[in-house]
Structure 1
Amino acid sequence: MRIAADRLLGLALIGLAAFIAVQSLQLEVPFSYEPVGPKAFPLGLAALLAGLALVLVFKPGEDGHWPHPALALRLLVVLGLLLAYALLFTRLGFVPASFLVVATLARLFDASWPKALLTGALMATGSYFLFTEALGIALPSGTWLADVI
């Protein structure tokens, strides 16, 4: 049963890789970029995804076991947290959204409240300064303060 599931997943991922490649080839760039340009990154990811998906199709894994229901529930909560993070990222801003998600993840995996809050604060502020100062990437500050002020 697992072998068939691996092969079906591999075929679905090949379809996703083809979709990504077609979409990236349709990117219209109004001016010249450096030699690589904005099309190369999604095309490279699509090629990597297709190559790894071919491994699933031609060499599926051995039959495995489903995780314990408690672990499966935790994994679903993690998926929900990541979805909430993606939805709230621009509204709340990078630092508050990251703090909430990291602290909640830490609590989910049995950290005490003080450790979870400290981890959330350090990860949110540390990654903010890493992105903004070291890498020069602008991050959203959130629109929730605009409603308050």
Structure 2
Amino acid sequence: MSYAADRVLSLLLLGLAAFIAVQAHQLDVPFSYDPVGPKAFPMLLAGILAFLSVILFFRPGPGQSWPTGALLLRLVSVLVLLGLYAWFFTSAGYLITTAVTVAVLAWLFEAGTVKALITGPLMSIGSYLLFTYALGITLPWGDWLTSVA
């Protein structure tokens, strides 16, 4: 059994945790509504990610073979899709990018075309309402809508 895959992943995740911590440390907000400030949550998440990465490095799971064929294509598709989601998030807006992303993810994981097309918009609208009204978080409408107004 080879533990190389888990150890490589743990090192990549440790690097990601360091990147998140550096970016969070550079956050500078002139005023804050709470005494903790905006740095606390990303720093906490970076710390948790770093801790779990170290655990994964020293206690990897049983070695598995790397994915091939259709599974590898599906995993790469998910990575590309999430990258596109981040790229278009501000310009296309939360509702559209989330609806399309959720629909494609559902379809990739074999939910069926009709279920995917229903799930995408419902999840997008539901999560938008949750973030906006329950949590008070402002989400982007999209540059294409704000430039018209």
Please indicate, yes or no, whether the TM-score normalized by the shorter chain is above 0.5: yes
Moved more, 21-30 or 67-76: 21-30
What's the counterpart of residue 47 of structure 2?
47
- 2:131 matches 1:99: no
Q: In the aligned structure 1, how far is the partner of 2:31 from the partner of 2:135?
A: 24
Q: In the aligned structure 2, how far is the partner of 1:99 from the partner of 1:135?
A: 20
Tell me the CA shift for residue 39 of structure 1: 2.7
Tell me the CA shift for residue 90 of structure 1: 1.0
Q: Tell me if structure 1 keeps the 8 A contact 2:131–2:137.
A: yes
What's the counterpart of residue 108 of structure 1?
108
What's the counterpart of residue 36 of structure 1?
36
Q: Tell me if structure 1 keeps the 8 A contact 2:89–2:142.
A: yes
TM-score scaled by structure 1?
Answer: 0.81
What's the counterpart of residue 133 of structure 1?
133
Q: In the aligned structure 2, how far is the partner of 1:97 from the partner of 1:85?
A: 6
What's the counterpart of residue 72 of structure 1?
72
Tell me the CA shift for residue 54 of structure 1: 1.4
Change (3 A) 1:108 1:13: closer
Change (3 A) 1:13 1:117: closer
Q: Higher Cα Rg: structure 1 or 2?
A: 1
Write the deviation string for residues 104-130 of structure 1: whole angstroms up to 9, x where unpaired: 222223333332211112111111111
Tell me the CA shift for residue 59 of structure 1: 1.6
Change (3 A) 1:146 1:78: same
Q: In the aligned structure 1, how far is the partner of 2:78 from the partner of 2:15?
A: 26
Query: Residue type of the partner of 2:63?
Result: D
Unpaired runs of 5+ residues, structure 1, are none
Tell me the CA shift for residue 98 of structure 1: 1.2
Sequence identity, in percent? 58
Q: In the aligned structure 1, how far is the partner of 2:117 from the partner of 2:19?
A: 40
Tell me the CA shift for residue 29 of structure 1: 4.7
Q: Tell me if structure 1 keeps the 8 A contact 2:24–2:42.
A: yes
How many residues are treated as equivalent by the alignment? 149
